[in-house]
Amino acid sequence: MSSSKTVRKLQVVSPVPADIDIANSVQPLHISEIANELNLSPNHYDLYGKYKAKVLLSVLDEVKGSKDGYYVVVGGITPTPLGEGKSTTTVGLCQALGAFLDKKVVTCLRQPSQGPTFGIKGGAAGGGYSQVIPMDEFNLHLTGDIHAITAANNLLAAAIDTRIFHESTQSDKALLNRLCPPNKEGKRSFSDIMFRRLKKLGISKTRPEELTPQEVKKFARLDIDPNSLTWRRVMDVNDRFLRKITIGQGPEEKGMVRETGFDISVASEIMAVLALTTSLADMRERLGNMVIGNSKAGDPVTADDLGVGGALTVLMKDAINPTLMQTLEGTPVLVHAGPFANIAHGNSSIVADKIALKLVGPGGFVVTEAGFGADIGTEKFMNIKCRYSGLTPQCAVIVATIRALKMHGGGPEVIAGKPLDHAYLNENVALVEAGCVNLARHISNTKAYGVNVVVAVNMFSTDSEAELSAVRNAALAAGAYDAVICTHHAHGGKGAVDLGIAVQKACENVTQPLRFLYPLDTGIKEKIEAIAGSYGASGVEYSEQAEKQIEMYSKQGFSGLPICMAKTQYSFSHEASKKGAPTGFTLPIRDVRASIGAGFIYPLVGTMSTMPGLPTRPCFYDIDLDTATGKVIGLS
């Protein structure tokens, strides 16, 4: 058992109570105790109440000379709509490493969106006896990062429409005079951010009155093409009726009506920027470089062109610091960023991982989770996140369940909210073995990056020994370093000790350097086709719109960016109904968009919604407050 002062012994109960009841049964330690175990002094963090703290980026400057610990990423097989317990496994593994194997460990997780929390999936703090606490704070406002993203995103949206409005009603000279108003002495000057635009235009003059009429026009008139706008407003609620809206209907807007819509906040490019940034200065550049659309001449228009990059950074200055929390067993957790996993890159932040790797040091472990199946989350972790961070993982965990493998073997459809078919509740080894083709492809794809792969079978009470044995044999035959049966949901860290030992051995015995799926200097299409090949596709088909966008982004100089596929999480292919490991299909690219500030091109495969809707019976029916104790009840 660990000698760590913060480790807490769990009293597990069977059957496993509701997640919120388990979370409420444990009194969290004051977060300063968790920080102290990581050798963080009070000047390294800001307290947000008793159980949360923001770890300041300045810590990185102090520890930059020290060596990193082992770096582990947790992905999964292609999931059912019920999820296979990736977050639960990530937390359980860390509880095993910290509370039972006496290792220094930090869990790095994404911050959940309130969309799923109140919608269909519920929260994302893990589950059973492998959770982050306080679970209600983790799943709700946390430290306000998503609210900061929402505010920054919508400030930029307001700036875009306002600029189009003012340019439509003013002459070039009037625009310049209003953009550069006279001071008390009657002199006009450029603000600091304006010099960024002047430099981009190749204008070296320092005073507004020095500009020629042609330069005034180039500087003052962005001439945004409303049809090219890609920037939408956001909110952190599933609201299907905001997917398409019409704005500008007020009489003062002088007929400037246009169609736009809302995305959910975690789909904002600002969230992707937060997740991929490496410093405050880097975040400032990325936010300023975000492209919101084109001018009528076809040039990209950025947030800095609109003069708003600095203000966006001010709104995000606290959000850049990761939030320190704890697991049920008292091991530390860094929660930071939460980009959409099937549209953006679905991984927590680089800065949290970097801080954590220094804090655990050599022999310690940082375990981070990559969203959805490994074809989406782990692929983006390797090819996007690791490219920008320069970090190298030693081990990748792939989480599998008997339930999901039976589905991939041809079992009946699994539908959230409906009882499982008897095929999922009774032994059927043949169905499990047939479904292991999905696991095998995830193993071979992940091994290709040069990491050791450990399969974690998240065990349910209905799983039989013969079924579990079949998965273990199939995983080892497919090239997994090890395959382990885990019961962390029912037993906490104790149920993932074998997984912890396997992960440690896998990290200690890695023999290859990190390899990427594609080089950055190939064209956009070549990169898309490399990823499509990993899915099992035999070819790629581009719509007319996709061809047009690829040509434009290549012309604008963005073809050297990595690719972030927006694809269904429920199949290797573009069709959610195609289970197992389909091959020979043609992958359709409907459109191609760019997150230039975040630093990736994202092709849309089929139809992807960036604003989820609420089901008939959302999770919010179960959520309430016990007004006598002040405790949240019903969160899942």
Q: Please list the alpha-helical segments (H only) found in 246-341.
A: 269-276, 280-289, 309-316
Instruction: Tell me if 621 is assigned to some domain.
Output: no
- Whether 222 and 337 share a structural domain: no
Q: Given its phi and psi angles, is residue 372 left (phi above 0), alpha (psi -120 to 50 degrees) or beta? A: left
Q: Cα–Cα distance between 590 and 479 in angstroms, integer?
A: 35
Instruction: Tell me if 231 is assigned to some domain.
Output: yes
> Mean pLDDT over all residues of the chain?
94
Boundary of a domain, candidates 484, 509, 534: 509
Q: Average the pLDDT over 96-125 and give the result.
A: 88
Q: Cα–Cα distance between 194 and 197 in angstroms, integer?
A: 5
Q: Average the pLDDT over 333-349 and give the result.
A: 89
Instruction: Tell me if 1 is assigned to some domain.
Output: no
CATH number for the domain harbouring residue 247: 3.30.1510.10
Please state whether the peptide bond connecting residue 134 to the residue before it is cis, i.e. omega within 30 degrees of 0.
yes
Q: How far does CA 179 lie from the centroid of its chain?
A: 37
Q: Cα–Cα distance between 515 and 115 in angstroms, integer?
A: 35
* Residues written for the chain: 636
Task: Write out pLDDT tens, residues 543-575.
Answer: 999 999 999 999 999 999 999 999 999 999 999
Residue type, 279: S
Boundary of a domain, candidates 287, 315, 343: 315
- Whether 113 and 172 share a structural domain: no
Boundary of a domain, candidates 293, 315, 337: 315
- Whether 156 and 195 share a structural domain: yes
Q: Higher model confidence: residue 24 or residue 417?
A: 24
Task: Kindly give, in sequence order, each residue whose CB lies less than 8 Å from that of residue 507, ignoring residues fewer than 6 positions away.
Answer: 70, 72, 365, 394, 395, 452
Q: How many CA atoms lie within 13 A of 633 on its CB side?
A: 8
- Whether 152 and 254 share a structural domain: yes
Q: Which domain holds residue 535?
A: 524-604
Q: Average the pLDDT over 113-136 and give the result.
A: 85
Q: Cα–Cα distance between 282 and 314 in angstroms, integer?
A: 14
Task: Write out pLDDT tens, residues 413-427.
Answer: 998 878 999 999 999
- Whether 151 and 283 share a structural domain: yes
Task: Write out pLDDT tens, residues 39-94.
Answer: 999 999 999 999 999 999 999 999 988 999 999 999 999 999 888 999 999 999 99
Task: Write out pLDDT tens, residues 265-316.
Answer: 999 999 999 999 999 999 999 999 999 999 999 999 999 999 999 999 999 9
Name the phi and psi angles at 456, rounded to 5.
Answer: -110, 115
Q: Cα–Cα distance between 106 and 366 in angstroms, integer?
A: 5
- Whether 338 and 296 share a structural domain: no
In the numeric block, the tokens 């074998």 are attached to 498
Asked if residues 297 and 1 have their Cβ atoms less than 8 Å apart, the reply is no
Asked if residues 133 and 23 have their Cβ atoms less than 8 Å apart, the reply is yes
Instruction: Tell me if 634 is assigned to some domain.
Output: no
- Whether 464 and 366 share a structural domain: yes
What is 394-406 written as a DSSP string? SEEEEEE-HHHHH
Q: Given its phi and psi angles, is residue 220 left (phi above 0), alpha (psi -120 to 50 degrees) or beta? A: alpha
Instruction: Tell me if 84 is assigned to some domain.
Output: yes
- Whether 380 and 497 share a structural domain: yes
Tell me the two tokens of residue 628: 């006598």
- Whether 480 and 361 share a structural domain: yes
Asked if residues 147 and 141 have their Cβ atoms less than 8 Å apart, the reply is yes
Instruction: Tell me if 111 is assigned to some domain.
Output: yes
- Given this model, what pLDDT does residue 417 score? 78
Q: Average the pLDDT over 577-602 and give the result.
A: 96
Nearest Cα to 472, choosing from 427, 506, 424, 432? 432
Nearest Cα to 493, choosing from 333, 324, 329, 363? 329
Q: How many CA atoms lie within 13 A of 321 on its CB side?
A: 22
Angle at CA 212, nearest 5°, toward 210 and 214? 145
Instruction: Tell me if 215 is assigned to some domain.
Output: yes
- Whether 165 and 293 share a structural domain: yes
In the numeric block, the tokens 């492209």 are attached to 291
Task: Write out pLDDT tens, residues 196-253.
Answer: 999 999 999 999 999 999 999 999 999 999 999 999 999 999 999 999 999 999 988 8
Q: At 539, is the pLDDT very low, low, confident or very high (cuts 50, 70, 90)? A: very high
Q: Is the pLDDT of residue 1 over 50?
A: no
Please state whether the peptide bond connecting residue 322 to the residue before it is cis, i.e. omega within 30 degrees of 0.
no
In the numeric block, the tokens 């009070």 are attached to 42
Q: At 3, is the pLDDT very low, low, confident or very high (cuts 50, 70, 90)? A: low
- Whether 466 and 370 share a structural domain: yes
Task: Kindly give, in sequence order, each residue whose CB lies less than 8 Å from that of residue 4, ignoring residues fewer than 6 positions away.
Answer: 37, 98, 99, 102, 330, 331
CATH number for the domain harbouring residue 403: 3.40.50.300
Q: Cα–Cα distance between 355 and 464 in angstroms, integer?
A: 41
- Whether 194 and 343 share a structural domain: no
Q: Cα–Cα distance between 480 and 374 in angstroms, integer?
A: 14
Q: Cα–Cα distance between 296 and 634 in angstroms, integer?
A: 52
Asked if residues 550 and 544 have their Cβ atoms less than 8 Å apart, the reply is no
Instruction: Tell me if 628 is assigned to some domain.
Output: no
- Given this model, what pLDDT does residue 635 score? 84
CATH number for the domain harbouring residue 586: 3.10.410.10
Query: How many domains in the chain?
Result: 3
